Structure 1
Amino acid sequence: MAGVRYGNPKTGWEFFGTELKRLREAAGLTQQQLGSRIFCSAAYIGQFETAIRKPQLYLAEQMDIVLGTDGLLGRLCKKLVESSPYVGYFAEAVYLEGIAVTIREFATMFVPGLLQTAAYARAVCLASRPVAPEEWIENKVAARLDRGRLLDHPTKPAFWAVLDESVLRRVVGGAAVMHEQLRHLVELVQRRRIILQVLPFGAGAPALSGMLTLMTFEDAPPVAYHEGPKTGNLLDDPAAVTHCELTYDHVRAAALSPEASLTLIRSAAEDYAR
């Protein structure tokens, strides 16, 4: 896969994968043999070794037991996870953003993180932790802006988002913040960096009731990520991902066209400027 396009969170996991392969081969095991002993597929072991996917801590600890490595892989995995600025359930989703070929999102409450301005991101963080120390807020905003640099690349990943109309109407941080945020969305669309659609209130009940992210990769199966309060689920079961993709297509079909959506976003931005 291509390297990560913001920061370089993949580097540590490449080292993990190299060490895993070295230790597995030293133990005389194939990917299939190691996978069968820790109850996962040979393909998964291969994805761990090539840093396409990150193993959960319990899997790293199981590999240590099978390979007799005295907890090395578990300690390394724990260190890499703890070095991430994101909570555990979101860290792998952020990692996968950096190596995705396509990203499709549906947002019901807020502008997706990759598209947020600094002021909007700050308002969202303050809403979630109104009495948080300033340093915590600054770190969260910096991490979110770092994610947004993914879109500095002119073409990769291809990004498509459907925003519920409530995202445009909810006043996050005040009128000036909303004006800046919506103008940022317009600018991204105008330079053909992203495709945006708006699901209008008139479309009725949406097929999706919460945030959903779909990602595809050059040499790995697609995944879906959905999030709720203080929790998130990364799905890679083919049937579950296919179901999410079909549901997303239903939402996209009910949304306004990209052209009509841009007109609505511009209009909302002008309303906030008044």
Structure 2
Amino acid sequence: MIESAVRPLIAMSRLAARPRGGRRRCDRRMRRANRRGQLTSTSPLAQNISPSHSSGWITSPPRSLGNFPWERGYGYGVPAVDRSFGWLSDWIGASSLLLMTWMARSRILGDELRRHRNSCGLTLAELGARTGRGKSTIARWETGEKPIDRDDLLKILGALGITGPTESALLSLVGDLSQKSWYDEADMPKRLRDLAALESKATKITELAIAVVPGLIQTSAYAAAVLRGMGGPEDRILHRVENRIARQTVLAGSVQYTALLDELVLQRPVGGAEVMRAQLDQLATLSQQGNVTLRVLPVGLTHPGLTGAFILLEFAHGLPIVHIEQQRTSALLDRKAETAAYQATTSTLRAMAMDAEASRALIHQYADRWRDRAHGEHF
């Protein structure tokens, strides 16, 4: 989705630097893109590639940065960029900074360094002589096998004569290589690693749950019961529980998290009475945490969320992203029309849900009922 939206802009940016016929073709494509709503008066493309500018990029990215990662064969399917690339995040929407793991960042940086070295006609040994580093070390930087620190990168950029926007972008990128997140090396499916990455970057997370307690607020026992219900080897289930609990560290930060819980979630006996008692006690405790809000949608209420659970992730810059999950698959939605619909649904659900205090009281009531049932009494 993101790729299809950005490819026409990439093509136009390249045509913009061409004279005569290329310029006319670029102008025609720009007019078509404008009619489709792909350009705005404030976008870098509209500002910097116009009939009055014949030199291509003015303040936006120079062509020396090369093609996007999906064109270089990384296979990620979306632009692997983040907020550090200010011009690019503004261009395509900062929420599409998306999903760049530590290894992806390291590989992309290394690829850029190798291209610039080759364009300068330098061998690994020659660049090493200029920077005081061995050629094997530089080779490992270029393959992404070894992260490069800021001081070494500055030496390389100086030796290669890289300045301006390219220098700023690469320096911003390298700042993230020294800080791996737990999900960068976790043994987990890419779709879950992507979700964890987005959760770590979000400023606000709103989650609708209609079947089970959301993963970010599950206990280990509850998570294990849910995953056992889906089947699979026990060791694999326990490993997935560990990953799920690791995701919850995001709630220790500043993100504002809201869970909209269908009341049936509090009634469904996942894992048995004692597991439910412990789970609801944890919900009651979490609801008192400053950045966590739990709201209950009363049973019997017909609401627009009955068609399926979802997670709405919002960011400090750019458009929101919606995560939807089924039994074996999941999807990330980032088109404005799609995310706007989920934002509207979220607003409706907030208006229909019980307030935070009433929800906490109801959670306590269900916790007491499950406690009684765990001691042999009727629910």
Q: Provide the TM-score with structure 2 as the length reference.
A: 0.53
Which residue is equivalent to 1:29?
Answer: 63
Matched, 1:150 2:150: no
Matched, 1:47 2:82: yes
Verify the 8 A CA contact 1:208 1:248 in the aligned structure 2: no
Q: 1:208 to 1:90 in 2, by over 3 A?
A: farther
CA–CA separation in structure 2 for the residues paired with 1:215 and 1:37:
24
Which residue is equivalent to 1:165?
Answer: 263
Aligned amino acid, residue 136 of structure 1: R
Aligned amino acid, residue 329 of structure 2: T
CA–CA separation in structure 2 for the residues paired with 1:46 and 1:86:
22
Using the TM superposition, give the Cα deviation of residue 44 of structure 1 relative to its aligned residue in structure 2, in angstroms: 4.4
Verify the 8 A CA contact 2:81 2:98 in the aligned structure 1: no
Structure 2 gap segments, 5+ residues each: 1-61, 72-77, 86-95, 102-106, 119-142, 145-181, 373-379
CA–CA separation in structure 1 for the residues paired with 2:70 and 2:197:
27
Cα distance per residue 1:225-260 (max 9 Å; x no partner): 111121111011112111111011112211112122
Cα distance per residue 1:184-243 (max 9 Å; x no partner): 011011233411111112312444411110111223421111111211110111121111
Matched, 1:266 2:364: yes
Q: 1:44 to 1:249 in 2, by over 3 A?
A: same
SS in 1 for 2:300: helix
Aligned amino acid, residue 29 of structure 1: R
Verify the 8 A CA contact 1:189 1:195 in the aligned structure 2: yes
Aligned amino acid, residue 146 of structure 1: A
SS in 1 for 2:258: strand
CA–CA separation in structure 1 for the residues paired with 2:239 and 2:338:
34
Which residue is equivalent to 2:202?
Answer: 100
Higher percent of residues as strand:
1
CA–CA separation in structure 1 for the residues paired with 2:69 and 2:236:
42
SS in 2 for 1:98: helix
Structure 1 gap segments, 5+ residues each: 1-27, 74-79
Q: 1:45 to 1:36 in 2, by over 3 A?
A: closer
Verify the 8 A CA contact 2:310 2:323 in the aligned structure 1: yes
Aligned amino acid, residue 47 of structure 1: D
Aligned amino acid, residue 119 of structure 1: A
Q: Which has the larger radius of gyration?
A: 2
Q: 1:258 to 1:30 in 2, by over 3 A?
A: farther
What are the residue-to-residue correspondences of 1:102-251 with 2, within 5 Å? 102-129=204-231, 131-133=232-234, 135-153=235-253, 156-251=254-349
- 192-201 or 204-213: which moved more? 204-213
SS in 1 for 2:63: coil
Which residue is equivalent to 1:12?
Answer: none
Using the TM superposition, give the Cα deviation of residue 107 of structure 1 relative to its aligned residue in structure 2, in angstroms: 0.6
SS in 2 for 1:187: helix
CA–CA separation in structure 1 for the residues paired with 2:287 and 2:70:
49
Using the TM superposition, give the Cα deviation of residue 140 of structure 1 relative to its aligned residue in structure 2, in angstroms: 1.0
Aligned amino acid, residue 139 of structure 1: H
Aligned amino acid, residue 187 of structure 1: T
SS in 2 for 1:105: strand
Q: How many corresponding residue pairs?
A: 232
CA–CA separation in structure 1 for the residues paired with 2:69 and 2:189:
30
CA–CA separation in structure 1 for the residues paired with 2:285 and 2:242:
21
CA–CA separation in structure 2 for the residues paired with 1:147 and 1:82:
12
Using the TM superposition, give the Cα deviation of residue 269 of structure 1 relative to its aligned residue in structure 2, in angstroms: 0.4
Verify the 8 A CA contact 1:207 1:250 in the aligned structure 2: no
